[in-house]
Amino acid sequence: MRLIIGSKEDQASVAMSKRLLETVDFQPLDGNAGVLRHGDYLFSYIQRRHLYMDTLDSGLEGLSQSIDVVIFLSRHSSAADMMSLTVHPTGNFSEAKLGGAVGRLSPTAPYDMTSALLEMHSTYRGDEFKVTYEATHHGPALEIPHFYMEIGTTEAQWNNPEAQDDIIRGIFATRRNFSGAFVGIGGGHYMPKITEYSIENTVAMGHMISKHALENATDELIRQSVQKTPGCRGFVMDRKGTKSRAREIVMSVADSLGLEIIRI
C-alpha cells in the first residue's frame, strides 16, 4: 500500500492534489475520516507542511502497518529558477533547518522512487521542465520509507497541468525490476551525472549525497546512507564531483561492507 500526502500549507501540493483527485477515482475509505483509496493507493491531506511530519497523523494510525511507502507532493523552489520535476529522499547530514533530525537519514524507497523518475522521464514530451533527482535533504524523519515528488519553481509551474500529469504518471508507475539499489555520491544538488546514469542504465538510487553535503560526511553517515537504502549493493560515485577526503571514507565503508563502487 502506498500513501500519498498532500499538504494544505503548500500551494503546489494543493494544486497537485486537486489535479490527482480530478483525474483518478479515489473514494472514501471506510472507518478513516479524510482518507481516500484507489486500489493500492491511499491519499490524505495534512494541515501542516510535510517537512515536520515525523509521525503519521492519528487518523492513519490504524493503517500504518499496511503502508509500505509514503509519497509527499510538494513545491520545489530554486534560486536558479530551474523548472523541474524532481524526486528525492529525505534526511539531514548536519543541521536540521527544515524538519527531520540532526545527522539522521530516513528510510528510502529506491525502487518506487526510481520507477517514478524513469516513468516521468520517458513520458514527458515538453521542453519546459527537467526531470531529475535531487540529493537527500530536509525532513521529515519518518520511519516508513518515503520520498518527495516536486514541481519547481514558481506558482506558474506549480499550476501547470502538464507538469502535474507527469507527476501523476510517476506516482502510478509500475515498480520496475532492479538488481539492488545504490547510494549516490558527489556532484551538485540535482545529481546531474547520477541522474543521467540512473536513467540510461535503469539503476535504482536510494540516498544521494551531494558534494556540498559530503563536507559533513563521516564514516557513520555513509554507513547510515547504506542502511537506509534497502537492497544496497554499493555506491555510484561522480568522480569529479567528489573530493578526495569523501572518496576515502566511501572506499573504506565499501571495503568493510563488501560493497561495489561504480565510478562515473
Q: Which residue from 148, 237, 150 is spatially nearest to 185, judged by alpha carbons?
A: 237
Q: Strand 130-133 and strand 84-88: pairing? A: parallel
- Please tell me the predicted confidence (pLDDT) of residue 61: 62
pLDDT at 79 over 80: no
Per-position b or e across 53-72, b if 16+ CB within 10 A of its CB: beebbeebeebeeebebbbb
- Please tell me the predicted confidence (pLDDT) of residue 153: 82
Helices (H), the chain: 11-23, 110-123, 155-158, 161-171, 192-201, 219-227, 244-257
Tell me the average pLDDT across 189-202: 97
CATH value of 2-263 in 3.50.50.60, 1.10.3720.10, 3.40.630.50, 3.40.50.300:
3.40.630.50
The more confidently predicted of residues 127 and 165 is 165
pLDDT at 31 over 70: no
DSSP state letter for 29: P
pLDDT band at 155 (very low <50, low <70, confident <90, very high): confident
Polymer length of the chain: 264
pLDDT at 62 over 90: no
- Please tell me the predicted confidence (pLDDT) of residue 59: 55
- Please tell me the predicted confidence (pLDDT) of residue 42: 95
Tell me the average pLDDT across 87-96: 94
What's the whole-model pTM score? 0.95
- The full set of domain ranges for the chain reads 2-263
Q: What is the pLDDT of residues 246-263, one digit of tens each?
A: 999 999 999 999 999 999
